[in-house]
Amino acid sequence: MKRILTQCIKELAQFRRDKLTVVLAFVLPLGMLLIYGFAIRLEIKNINLSVLDYDNTPFSRSYIERIYATNQFVPVRYKTGGLDRGEVRATVVIPPKFSRNFQSNIRSDVQVTIDGTDVNNARVIQNGIKATTNFFLQDVQENLPKFKIQADTRIWFNPGRKESLYIVPGVYAVILWVFPSMLTAIAMVREKQEGTIIQVYASDLSSTELLLGKWLAYFIVAIAEATVVISFATALFQIPIVDNILILIGGTLSFLAAAVSFGLFFGVRSKNQTGAVQGTSILGFLSAFLLSGFIYPINNIPYPISLLSNLVPAKYYIILTRDVFVRGTGWPSVWYIPIVLSAVACFFLLICSRILRKMQFSD
Amino acid sequence: MKLLDILLNSRLFALIIKEIRQILRNRQLIFLLLFPPTLQLLIFGLALSPDVKHLPLAVVDYNQTRESWELVSALKENEIFDFKGYQSDQVNLSQKVQQGKLSVGLIIPPDFQRQIKQGKTAEIQVLLDGVDANSAGIAQGYIKQIVNNYNQKIADVPIQPLITTQVIFLYNQGLNSSWFFVPGVIGLVLTLTGILISALTVIKEKDVGTLEQLLMTPAAAWEILLAKIIPIFVLLLGDLLLASTLGRLVFHLPFRGNFLVFVLLSSLYIFVCIGIGILLATLVKTQQQISLISFFFNIPIIQLSGAIAPTESMPIFFKNLSVLDPLRHYIEISRTLILKDVGIESVWTQTIALLIFAALILSLSISRFRRQLF
């Protein structure tokens, strides 16, 4: 036990002395937090929309006014080919005789053409225009009987549909997976690359002690990292904890333990730093980014890739952070997550100790 | 013939042959050119999807009449919601929405039928899981439309809405989400691979120390560098074709614009990436640091490019910042030329931006490369 602690203290001293790793551990995660936290927004708020009004009557103009009154759309003068050049996202064409038809009870079709390139916002635009048209109708069409059913929708947790509430808890998972694992991998592989591992092999330190010492040191670094990142983001994005703080602590500790073990595994496996960085960054980053439900709903991942996403620890941690920062439903819905994550940590540690058991060079 | 002879005997040609041999011998490089691009393209294309479909829905029906059943079946009759059965009471339902087990909960009040029969407005309550703000907004729109349509169906006098909207989605009629992501991922693949490969080949010579030997030969610095750039460029062009083929075969991308223009503008972007790679290689000393530094360089490039989330929705500061991101311009080009039947005239601003980036970055990296030699 004492030897593990000594090893850990030595490792921390080494960490402090290397400027690059300190930057890696604290500056870059904060930079990433800012970029991800601010720049990922799925829904466009000010959509360029142009209207071609063949009718040009007070009636058609009041319809146009109603469309722009939603604050969703920004008026842009109609030009041919505007959609092709990407200047507008949608065009609305009001047919001739729009108002005369309306007065004589004849239906008119308003042509809406939407740029379908950005699939998500194409849907948002479609819903927006349809809803506005319906509201307009209810105001102007007198013979329209009152609708018998009124849907009273309540959007839970996030009535203002603030997207940061969805993105930021997910960013925690990406950052706290990628950086701790990369730091650990680099530290482990450095010992091999510089040949100092022979000295360790020659000493009476056992492989388990070596691994646990390194693990503990970087676990401590990771905790410091998590504290900095989460408290900074809480203040900056105003996303307070709405749940039992013990859930956040338990979940984060087990997630960090898994990340550090994952990094240790890559450090033990790779021969040089390039391999360690490539392994943790590409595999860790892509999985935490793409297969965790960070940006788009996890249910949309098709089979069989969806099976793969079950193996991604970040997926579980995101469920937990969204519960802690948004849902607030407490232990009953997330009790299994710290257990799963701790199991992942133990799994990687066991593999590491198997690889390193002989304490000899492989070649 | 004579021209060819001169070309074949030139120093530049000899250097190019040397570079090609070196690349072909490097198994890691070949691996980096083939494996990560394929994987990235497939995973990004398949896993990222903003579709709002199959949202789990459950209902508490306190009314249990023909009218309420019809309303529920109107909600069931589409791909958007997956009906997960009835719940016994409101508390149960709200708890499940709160825990995220259900995305939508519908509560039909006990007096639902009576209100309708008496010509009053019956209020139904819809609970939406708002954690995913984007999906919740779209789901809300769908529910309103479904309820409206149902209203028109049950009206005593058939309602003839006098204004209807006919919506056409241009360029992507089926709203196929991979058509949004894959053109972006092609740019992403070129960026990641291009920067890493060019940085690695340049730094290797520096790392091993053969750069001094090369410099002692009569070859000029520009010949050495050009001989490095040309084979990488050809290889990356191969990567572009690989990515386009995958996009065509797996994701059925339409490639409506002129393919030649697409390849031409992509080549321009490849030069930008090679320039960035060489620049990074001049900044660091060893191969070790290259992968690390390119990783951190890539994150802002990718994130500000609009490959994953649209640039229009970014806050103003980041939107302005994204203008400095060459990948953003390339992705706009590739999305336009792949999905729209237009030519270079629709993307000329982006083309000019790429030209400026290519000129700036390449000359900066070449001058830095030369300076560190002498």
Per the domain annotation, does A148 fall within a domain?
A: no
Residue A111 contacts B where some CB pair is shorter than 8 Å: yes
Residue type, B15: L
Beta carbons of B167 and A300 less than 8 Å apart: no
pLDDT value of residue A1: 80
Residue A330 contacts B where some CB pair is shorter than 8 Å: no
Q: Mean pLDDT, to the nearest integer, of A120-149?
A: 84
Chain B residue with minimum CA distance to A60: B163
**A47-51, A277-281, B57-61, B260-264, range with the lowest pLDDT:** A277-281
A124 and A270 share one domain: no
pLDDT in tens, chain B (374 residues): 677 777 777 788 888 888 888 888 888 788 888 888 898 898 888 888 888 888 999 999 999 999 899 999 999 888 889 999 899 889 999 988 988 889 999 999 999 999 888 888 888 999 999 888 888 989 999 998 898 888 888 877 766 778 888 898 989 888 888 899 999 999 999 999 999 888 888 888 777 777 777 777 777 777 888 888 899 999 999 999 999 999 999 999 999 989 999 999 999 999 999 999 999 988 887 776 787 788 888 888 998 998 888 888 888 899 999 999 999 999 999 999 999 988 888 899 999 999 999 999 999 988 888 777 65
- What ipTM was assigned to the predicted interfaces of this complex? 0.85
Chain A CB contacts of B40 below 8 Å: 286
A264 and A342 share one domain: yes
Whether A37 has a pLDDT exceeding 60, the answer reads yes
Q: Mean pLDDT, to the nearest integer, of A314-338?
A: 92
| Main-chain phi, psi angles of A239, to 5 degrees | -115, 95
Q: How far apart are CA A60 and CA A76, in angstroms?
A: 17
More confident residue, A268 or A19: A268
Which of residues A79, A109, A140 is at a domain's end?
A140
Beta carbons of A165 and B131 less than 8 Å apart: yes
A138: helix, coil or strand?
helix
B278 and B367 share one domain: yes
Q: What residues make up the domain containing B141?
A: 55-154
Domain count, chain A: 2
B63 and B124 share one domain: yes
B202 burial class (0-12, 13-18, 19+ CB within 10 angstroms)? buried
Given the DSSP bridges, would you call strands A108-115 and B122-129 parallel, antiparallel or unpaired? unpaired
**Most B CBs within 10 Å: which of A110, A138, A155, as the mutation test of the B interface?**
A155
B214 and B352 share one domain: yes
Q: What residues make up the domain containing A202?
A: 2-40+163-356
Contact B116, B154 (CB under 8 A): yes
Beta carbons of A158 and B130 less than 8 Å apart: yes
Q: For the domain that residue B144 is a member of, what is the CATH number? A: 3.40.1710.10
Whether A141 has a pLDDT exceeding 80, the answer reads no
Per the domain annotation, does B165 fall within a domain?
A: no
Give me the DSSP letters along A24-63: IIIIHHHHHHHHHHHH---S-SSEEEEEEESS-SHHHHHH
A121 and A182 share one domain: no
A99 and A179 share one domain: no
Domain count, chain B: 2
Q: How far apart are CA B173 and CA A147, in angstroms?
A: 32
pLDDT value of residue A363: 46
Per the domain annotation, does B317 fall within a domain?
A: yes
Per the domain annotation, does B210 fall within a domain?
A: yes
Whether A144 has a pLDDT exceeding 70, the answer reads no
B133 and B187 share one domain: no
A64: helix, coil or strand?
helix
| Main-chain phi, psi angles of B106, to 5 degrees | -120, 130
Beta carbons of A296 and B315 less than 8 Å apart: no
Chain A CB contacts of B74 below 8 Å: none
A35 and A67 share one domain: no
Each residue's pLDDT tens digit, B131-179: 888 889 899 999 988 988 888 888 777 667 788 888 989 898 888 888 9
A334 and A288 share one domain: yes
Each residue's pLDDT tens digit, A68-122: 998 889 999 998 888 888 889 999 999 999 999 988 888 889 999 999 989 999 9
B38 and B85 share one domain: no
> Could you say which of B98, B165, B291 has the minimum Cβ distance to residue A156?
B98
Q: What mean pLDDT value characterizes chain A? A: 88
Given the DSSP bridges, would you call strands B104-108 and B122-129 parallel, antiparallel or unpaired? antiparallel
Beta carbons of B43 and A153 less than 8 Å apart: no
B217 and B284 share one domain: yes
Three-class DSSP labels, chain B: CHHHHHHHHCHHHHHHHHHHHHHHHCHHHHHHHHHHHHHHHHHHHHHCCCCCCCEEEEEEECCCCHHHHHHHHHHHCCCCEEEEEECCCHHHHHHHHHHCCCCEEEEECCCHHHHHHCCCCEEEEEEEECCCHHHHHHHHHHHHHHHHHHHHHHCCCCCCCCEEEEEEEECCCCCCHHHHHHHHHHHHHHHHHHHHHHHHHHHHHHHHCHHHHHHHCCCCHHHHHHHHHHHHHHHHHHHHHHHHHHHHHHHCCCCCCCHHHHHHHHHHHHHHHHHHHHHHHHHCCCHHHHHHHHHHHHHHHHHCCCCCCCHHHCCHHHHHHHCCCHHHHHHHHHHHHHHCCCCHHHHHHHHHHHHHHHHHHHHHHHHHHHHHHC
Q: How far apart are CA A320 and CA A323, in angstroms?
A: 5
Contact A7, A210 (CB under 8 A): yes
Each residue's pLDDT tens digit, A167-190: 999 999 999 999 999 999 988 888
Per the domain annotation, does B236 fall within a domain?
A: yes
A65 and A32 share one domain: no
Beta carbons of A156 and B130 less than 8 Å apart: yes
Shortest Cα–Cα distance, A2 to chain B (Å): 34
**A179-183, A199-203, A287-291, B298-302, range with the lowest pLDDT:** A199-203
**A64-68, A229-233, B362-366, range with the lowest pLDDT:** B362-366
Token code pair at residue B314: 């970014």
Q: What is this structure's pTM? A: 0.88
B200 and B347 share one domain: yes
Q: How far apart are CA B50 and CA B225, in angstroms?
A: 44
B191 and B107 share one domain: no
Contact B103, B57 (CB under 8 A): yes
Q: Which of residues 234-273 of A touch B (CB under 8 A)?
A: 272-273
Q: How far apart are CA B124 and CA A153, in angstroms?
A: 8
Each residue's pLDDT tens digit, A253-272: 999 999 999 999 998 888 77
B93 and B211 share one domain: no
Beta carbons of B292 and A124 less than 8 Å apart: no
**Most B CBs within 10 Å: which of A153, A162, A289, as the mutation test of the B interface?**
A153
Shortest Cα–Cα distance, A77 to chain B (Å): 18
Given the DSSP bridges, would you call strands A108-115 and A90-94 parallel, antiparallel or unpaired? antiparallel
Per the domain annotation, does B2 fall within a domain?
A: no
Q: For the domain that residue A131 is a member of, what is the CATH number? A: 3.40.1710.10
Give Dmax over CA atoms of chain B in angstroms: 98
More confident residue, B260 or A15: B260
Q: How many CB atoms lie within 10 A of CB B174?
A: 9
A302: helix, coil or strand?
coil
Per the domain annotation, does A236 fall within a domain?
A: yes
Residue A144 contacts B where some CB pair is shorter than 8 Å: yes
- Minimal CA–CA distance to B136: which of A238, A89, A160? A160
Given the DSSP bridges, would you call strands A47-53 and A73-75 parallel, antiparallel or unpaired? parallel
**Most A CBs within 10 Å: which of B288, B319, B324, B347, as the mutation test of the A interface?**
B288
Q: How far apart are CA B269 and CA B67, in angstroms?
A: 60
Per the domain annotation, does A191 fall within a domain?
A: yes
What does each C-alpha distance from A307 to A292, A310, A312, A348 come to in angstroms? 11, 5, 10, 20
A308 and A227 share one domain: yes
Token code pair at residue B2: 């004579």
> Could you say which of A131, A152, A274 has the minimum Cβ distance to residue B291?
A274
Q: Which of residues 79-98 of A touch B (CB under 8 A)?
A: 81, 83-86
**Most B CBs within 10 Å: which of A85, A119, A289, as the mutation test of the B interface?**
A119
Chain A CB contacts of B43 below 8 Å: 286, 290-291, 305
Residue A39 contacts B where some CB pair is shorter than 8 Å: yes
Q: Mean pLDDT, to the nearest integer, of A111-134?
A: 91
A21 and A126 share one domain: no
Beta carbons of A147 and B151 less than 8 Å apart: yes
A167 and A301 share one domain: yes
Q: How far apart are CA B299 and CA B313, in angstroms?
A: 18
B147 and B178 share one domain: no
Q: How far apart are CA A338 and CA A332, in angstroms?
A: 12
Residue A304 contacts B where some CB pair is shorter than 8 Å: no
Chain A residue with minimum CA distance to B306: A40
Which of residues A91, A106, A140 is at a domain's end?
A140
Shortest Cα–Cα distance, B134 to chain A (Å): 6
B230 burial class (0-12, 13-18, 19+ CB within 10 angstroms)? middle
Each residue's pLDDT tens digit, B316-342: 899 999 999 999 999 999 999 999 988
Chain B residue with minimum CA distance to A108: B163
Chain B CB contacts of A46 below 8 Å: 312
> Could you say which of B52, B150, B296 has the minimum Cβ distance to residue A28?
B296
More confident residue, A363 or B241: B241
A61 and A19 share one domain: no
Residue type, B206: K
Beta carbons of B136 and A155 less than 8 Å apart: yes
Q: How far apart are CA A74 and CA A89, in angstroms?
A: 10
Given the DSSP bridges, would you call strands B104-108 and B55-61 parallel, antiparallel or unpaired? parallel
Chain A CB contacts of B107 below 8 Å: none
Beta carbons of B164 and A110 less than 8 Å apart: yes
B109 and B255 share one domain: no
pLDDT value of residue A195: 78
More confident residue, B117 or A273: B117
> Could you say which of B127, B168, B339 has the minimum Cβ distance to residue A156?
B127
- Minimal CA–CA distance to B251: which of B49, B7, B5, B28? B49
End-to-end CA distance of chain A: 31
- Minimal CA–CA distance to A151: which of B78, B132, B100, B72? B72
- Minimal CA–CA distance to A90: which of A66, A110, A61, A65? A110
Shortest Cα–Cα distance, B359 to chain A (Å): 25
Residue A46 contacts B where some CB pair is shorter than 8 Å: yes
> Could you say which of A114, A159, A281 has the minimum Cβ distance to residue B169?
A114
Beta carbons of A120 and B134 less than 8 Å apart: yes
A215 and A102 share one domain: no
| Main-chain phi, psi angles of B284, to 5 degrees | -115, 170
B349 and B239 share one domain: yes
